[in-house]
Amino acid sequence: MLNLEELKGIAAIKNPGGDYYVSLYLNVDPVTNPNGEYMIKVRNMLKETAEGLEKPVFKKVKEDIELLENYFIAQKPQFKKSVCLITRKSGGFWKEYHMAMPVQSGVFVDKTPYLKPLFGLMDSYLRHLVLLLSKDDARMFVVHMGEILEYGEIRTPDVIGKHKKGGWFALEQDRFERHTEFHVGLHLNEVVRQLSDFVQKQGISRIVLGGPQETLSMGREKLPESLSERIIGEFTAGMYETSRQILERARPVVEAYERGEKEETVDELVTRAHKNKGAVLGMEDVVLMSGEKRIMTLLVDPSMKQEGYACVSCGALALGPENCRWCGGDMHSVNYLIDLLMEKTVENGGRVEVVPENEKLRNLGKIGAILRY
Ligand SMILES: [Zn+2]
């Protein structure tokens, strides 16, 4: 999973020795590359890169370039939609990221790792923090593009309960209550301290609050505004459920929130398209605008399936087999035009919004695009 802190760490690398990093980005989606078709692209990209380098630089990265090519030959990795590999001195420094969204492909040779596409992904697809909170325990999870990772636990055990057997009952009622309040306060202070730090370092913009019913209201009331204003919803859960169970409980909350946000984007799309102001609806116009590289945001229903054609020489997409309208090249048929449209959109600097179960979009052809101009 992409981790903002780790990326910042890599970005801060000083390189006084003058070695070069080779960073490679590539769409490797098994859907659009069922037979490892990305190999042709890998070879072309690496060859072009090697040819464009000055001799002394090429000497320094020759082995890295071979290493990258061998990675794709040797491995049968569990690819997602895209991959990022960064190497220096033939694997002495090696980073490998698998992403669930397409990236802009390319090879970059420089004295520092090329991280812009990764930071871009972090920005575009916001992460959610799930905070599971009780009176003496807290667990933090990060949900990013459907993945969940537990980051840590904060336990503040009750000292009296621990050391004095029967201590709970030995205390008078009001002392007991004061003690409990004091103890919960200590715990919350610690949670707030660590959470604030984490939210800032990880660039978290949304928090989903979970836990036993009675602590949910406590969380809402006692967390400082800087944290509570990020809460987008809540769910009840036991403190000791597995991360998978927590994800299942948090998922509907996150999805409901995102649905709301996506509805707004669809509304913008529809309004603009109807006024003929920088937006198009339906397959035909979207494919055309993709060819003109004008798509800023592509909105697509995940149930959308479409066959089509791609240009053999320039890669442009079309619905029909007629020669490429951009370069005149021959077309070959493809079964997965939507996935290619998504890749092309990102390649050209746009973004992709997958919008499930939106009636408006479904009635308007399941696909549309907000344009740059
Ligand atoms: Zn073409």
Tokens representing 115 are 């991280």
Q: Give the C-alpha separation, 229 to 210, whole Å.
A: 15
User: Is residue 148's pLDDT more than 80?
Assistant: no
CB 10 within 8 A of CB 113: yes
Ligand 1 centroid, distance to 323 Cα (angstroms): 8
Cβ-based burial of 126 (10 A; exposed 0-12, middle 13-18, buried ≥19): middle
Residue-wise pLDDT tens digits, 194-236:
889 888 877 788 899 999 988 888 888 888 998 999 999 999 9
Asked if pLDDT for residue 2 goes beyond 60, the answer is yes
In the 8-state DSSP scheme, what is residue 333?
A: E
Mean pLDDT of 115-124: 77
Gap from CA of 96 to ligand 1 centroid (Å): 32
pLDDT band, residue 361 (cuts 50/70/90): very high
Highest mean pLDDT (candidates 118-127, 143-152, 299-308): 299-308
Q: Write out pLDDT tens, residues 75-103.
A: 666 788 889 999 998 778 999 988 877 88
> 314 CA to middle of ligand 1, Å?
4
Please return the burial class of 50, using the count of CB atoms within 10 Å of its CB with bins 0-12, 13-18 and 19+.
middle
DSSP state, 87? Answer: E
Tell how far the Cα of 14 is from the centroid of ligand 1, in angstroms. Answer: 42
Lowest-confidence region among 68-72, 149-153, 214-218, 274-278 = 149-153
CA of 311 to the centre of ligand 1 (A): 5
Taking the centre of ligand 1 as the mean of its atom positions, its distance from the CA of residue 318, in whole angstroms, is 10
**Ligand 1 center to 327 CA (angstroms):** 4
| Structure-token pair, residue 78 | 């569990």
Side-chain-facing half-sphere of 136: CA atoms under 13 Å: 12
pLDDT band at 301 (very low <50, low <70, confident <90, very high): very high
If you measure from the C-alpha of residue 347 to the centroid of ligand 1, how many angstroms do you get, rounded to a whole number?
16
Q: Which residues surround ligand 1, an ion (CB under 5 A)?
A: 311, 314, 316, 324, 326-327, 329
Statement: residue 160 has pLDDT above 60 = no
Q: How far is the CA of 317 from the centre of ligand 1 (A)?
A: 8
The gap from C-alpha 322 to its chain's centroid, in whole angstroms, comes to 37
CATH code of the domain occupying 4-124 = 3.30.960.10
How confident is the model at residue 145, as a pLDDT? Answer: 63
pLDDT at 174: 66
Which class in CATH covers the domain with range 261-371?
Answer: alpha beta
The pLDDT tens digits for 14-58 are 776 778 999 999 988 887 888 888 899 999 999 999 999 999 999
Taking the centre of ligand 1 as the mean of its atom positions, its distance from the CA of residue 284, in whole angstroms, is 17
Give pLDDT, residue 339.
Answer: 86
CA distances from 238 to 199, 213, 215, 359 (A): 23, 9, 11, 35
Name the pairing type of β-strands 206-211 and 128-133: parallel
Residue extents of the structural domains in the chain? 4-124, 128-241, 261-371
Average pLDDT of the chain?
86
Q: How far is the CA of 313 from the centre of ligand 1 (A)?
A: 5
Of residues 124 and 289, more confidently modeled: 289
Please tell me the pTM assigned to this model: 0.68
- Mean pLDDT, residues 348-357 taken together: 85
CA–centroid distance, residue 328 to ligand 1 (Å): 6
Task: Give the confidence band of 164 by pLDDT, cuts at 50, 70, 90.
Answer: very low
Separation of CA 79 and ligand 1 centre (Å): 28
Instruction: Give residue 162 CA to ligand 1 midpoint distance, Å.
Output: 73
Ligand 1 centroid to residue 337 C-alpha, Å: 15
pLDDT tens per residue, range 247-264:
889 888 988 888 888 899
CATH fold of 128-241: Nucleotidyltransferase; domain 5 (3.30.420)
Which residue in 25, 30, 31 sits closest to 337, CA to CA? 31
Confidence category of residue 146, pLDDT binned at 50, 70, 90: low
What does the pLDDT average to over 61-87? 87
